[in-house]
Amino acid sequence: MLKLYYTPISVNSRRVWVALLEKQIAFEPIALNLDGDQFEPDFLGINPFHRIPVLVDGDLTVVESLAILDYIDAKYPAPPLLPTEAKALGIVRMVEMVTLNELLPAMFPLTRQLLGVPGDTEEKLAQSKQQILTVLRFFEGLLADERTFFAGEQFSLAEVVAGTAVPSVEMFEISFDEYPQLQQWGARLAGRSSWQQTEIPDAEIATKIPIIRNLLAARL
Ligand SMILES: N[C@@H](CCC(=O)N[C@@H](CS)C(=O)NCC(=O)O)C(=O)O
């Protein structure tokens, strides 16, 4: 059986968890705390970069969530999460990369500010907020023809990746009022069983704040 090293509160893990649920693939979850256990020799033997998620399938170990998602989709093609048509595939890949390379890095400074982790300048915080708004405008534009999902009617890895990150920007008091397509898209995803099963209650997240603060401070 597949083994998934993960942490329930991790956005990087959640996208793999959601994909496994969408495809109804059984897996053995192995939870790390990320309180230093990621530096234990046993785990470093699995991922020398000390990060989750990691997927282990027999003698194959896959690190990096986007690589894991591709592996899962190729090995378990039903339902397919990557379109094959050129335009749709380009959009899906673009949404995945913009989420990882533009949105998430902009969320780090603002999350640090929320949790009282010092080290970010006012200029950095303002730039990060602008960057998030640019991503939201960009995604709104991609959904502007009122398509159900980024790739059209097909639920895809664009939803799995962006849909587990975009709604969190509300914690920075960013409203979706100016992004009606994105708001409806988010509501559609929130109704899915895979989203509901991977939603972590606020009370549980609250117990992890010291760990989250340390992880974010390490990224300064
Ligand atoms: N690019 C990686 C990022 C993974 C990542 O940063 N995971 C965080 C948790 S959300 C982690 O394991 N942090 C522990 C550490 O950096 O020591 C991916 O997409 O899988």
Note the pLDDT tens digit of each residue in 76-126: 999 999 999 999 999 999 999 999 999 999 999 999 999 999 999 999 999
Give the residue, out of 51, 54, 208, with the most ligand 1 atoms within 8 A of its beta carbon, to mutate for a pocket test. Answer: 51
Domains annotated for the chain, with CATH where assigned, are: 2-80 (3.40.30.10), 86-197 (1.20.1050.10)
Those residues with Cβ within 8 angstroms of residue 162's Cβ, 6 or more apart along the chain or in another chain: 95, 96, 98, 99, 103, 139, 150
Cα 71 to Cα 77: distance, rounded to the nearest angstrom: 10
CA proximity to 141, closest of 93, 178, 99: 178
- State the amino acid at position 94 in one-letter form: M
Q: What is the DSSP letter of 152?
A: B
CB of 34 shorter than 6 A to ligand 1: yes
Separation of CA 54 and ligand 1 centre (Å): 10
Q: Is the pLDDT of residue 3 over 90?
A: yes
- Edge-to-edge, what's the strand order for the sheet holding 54-57? 27-31, 2-6, 54-57, 60-63
CA proximity to 20, closest of 200, 209, 197: 197
Task: Give mean pLDDT, residues 136-143.
Answer: 98
Tell me the pLDDT band of 162, cut-offs 50, 70 and 90. Answer: very high
**Which has more pLDDT, 146 or 131?**
131
Q: Is the pLDDT of residue 146 over 90?
A: no
Separation of CA 190 and ligand 1 centre (Å): 24
pLDDT the model gives residue 124: 98
Contact 165, 105 (CB under 8 A): no
Contact 22, 29 (CB under 8 A): no
Residue 173, φ and ψ in degrees, nearest 5: 60, 35
Q: Which residue has the tokens 């591709």?
A: 70
**Buried b / exposed e across 79-103, counting CB within 10 Å, b at 16+?**
eebbbeeeebeebbbebbebbbeeb
- Tens of pLDDT, residue by residue over 31-79, are 999 999 999 999 999 999 999 999 999 999 999 999 999 999 999 999 9
pLDDT the model gives residue 19: 98
* Residue bearing the CA closest to ligand 1, atom 10: 10
Q: H or E element: which one contains 22?
A: helix 11-22
Cα 133 to Cα 179: distance, rounded to the nearest angstrom: 10
* Residue bearing the CA closest to ligand 1, atom 1: 64
| pLDDT above 90: percentage of residues in the chain | 99
CB of 69 shorter than 6 A to ligand 1: no
CB of 38 shorter than 6 A to ligand 1: yes
pLDDT the model gives residue 136: 98
Mean of all residue pLDDT scores within the chain = 97
Ligand 1 closest atom vs CA 32: 12
